[in-house]
Structure 1
Amino acid sequence: MNGFERRKSAIKEKMMNTVLEMLRTCEPRNIRIADIAAEADVSQVTIYNYFGNKEALIRESIKRYMDMNYARFEQFLDGNPTLKEIVRYTIQLDKETFETYSPAMFQQMLTSDPELASYIEVLYREQAAPMLVRMIEEGKKKGEIAESMPTATIMAYIGMLKMQSHTLLELAHQSGRSGEFMEEIINLFFYGIRGVEPSES
């Protein structure tokens, strides 16, 4: 990457970081190009030249945020964590997002932006889902998951929990004991309502 390309990349990154910061407190529809330009210290023309319109800039900013979290997760996996550590780390990533951005904002974006919804669908189908299958199969080899439990059933169960993740995080927040609550959810995921680990049975 030459000097021009580095400067161009730095300007794009600055604008996307600005949008991500603004989304902490402002709904996408209320963000104006003029406000982004002022916060990022660039001209409105620059924003249009780089992204075409506000919607594309917000979309690319959210995609970048998701890509960064996915990269963090992949880096975490390089440390060969246990399945329980992986679940705990995944919940922590969701918790960070929940505390930074409104779940309603993401839902609004997915509903109003088919391109973003398609991007997330492809990301899950081509990267996240295959990785999850590998983690489950590895968990079976390590004895962390029962060999007799079909991978498809585990995938369905995890998907069901994922769909309710914001509700669980909200309940954890309301409980006043967020850390303990989520640890209990993790234990429930692994050991069921009996709360008995395999070594104790």
Structure 2
Amino acid sequence: MQDKDLHHKTLNKALKPISAMRPATLDKLEKAVLLLFSNHDPTEVSMIKIARTANMSLKTLYNYFGDKQTIIYTILNRVLGRLAVRMIDHLQGIDSVRDRLRKTLWVFFDFIDKSPDAMMVLSTAVPASRYREIAIYDNKELVDSFMQVLGDGQQQGILNDTVPLFVLFDVFIAFISRLGLMHIIRKNPDSLNENFDGLFTILWRAISNPEID
């Protein structure tokens, strides 16, 4: 009840910009959010529990975020933002469509292996219909970089060009998401990249031009 009452009192107040929060405090919040939402149903996690786990005041959380969904989206955007920077960096200087796709998949798998909690939160705490609440999903530089790889593949006749470009993108992301989530749920002791060549072969056969294969 206290959680809900404070929420109503602060709804109409202007939120402080996240840039005003100390990096160390934001780091603690990130760890708390990933820990809580990867191990509990989102309905079981209250603002009070987040505040206690992050060793922050409840008032501070409301002042910066307003509600727990905004906290989730903000933290995931922070985590995925680091992935985006790494992804864009790794795509530089690689000419071959196949090699660029290999590198993209490797970076995604490495992220999942090193950040399983973030993958769980993204998969279980955010409805698909709300993905666009995470700002990184509209990161033009990242999306354009990846879509260019797929577009180049279609134009060169390397990738399947009988379906729209966005279908190849959806297949690629669905492949990564499902494999990553089940890898974590099954508690597979091996890293995803230990089986990289075999997994990439499956993905490549799914999106490459069948006439070439």
Query: Given the two structures, how large is their TM-score scaled by the length of structure 1?
Result: 0.64
Cα RMSD for the two superposed structures: 4.1
Please point out which of 21, 34, 59 is paired with 1:8.
Answer: 21
1:49 deviates by: 1.0
1:139-177 CA distances to partner (integer Å, 9 max, x unpaired)? 579xxx536953955652342242233444447976979
Distance 1:120 1:37, change over 3 A: closer
Distance 1:191 1:137, change over 3 A: same
The 3-state SS of whatever aligns with 2:38 is coil
Higher relative contact order (CA 8 A, sep 6+): 2
Matched, 1:185 2:196: no
- The number of aligned residues is 185
C-alpha separation between the residues in 2 aligned to 1:40 and 1:104? 19
Query: What are the within-5 Å matches in structure 2 for residues 58-69 of structure 1?
Result: 58-69=72-83
Query: What are the within-5 Å matches in structure 2 for residues 16-165 of structure 1?
Result: 16-80=30-94, 82-95=96-109, 96-97=111-112, 100-101=116-117, 105-111=121-127, 116-119=130-133, 123=137, 126-138=140-152, 146=157, 150=161, 153=164, 155-165=166-176
Distance 1:50 1:125, change over 3 A: closer
Distance 1:49 1:102, change over 3 A: closer
Distance 1:6 1:105, change over 3 A: closer
Query: Quick check: which one's helix share is greater?
Result: 1
| Unaligned 5+ runs, structure 1 | 193-197
Q: Identical aligned pairs, as a percentage?
A: 15
Distance 1:41 1:103, change over 3 A: closer
1:109-156 CA distances to partner (integer Å, 9 max, x unpaired)? 332x85x42335982584554322322355579xxx536953955652
| Unaligned 5+ runs, structure 2 | 1-17, 207-211
Query: Given the two structures, how large is their TM-score scaled by the length of structure 2?
Result: 0.62
1:68 deviates by: 1.9
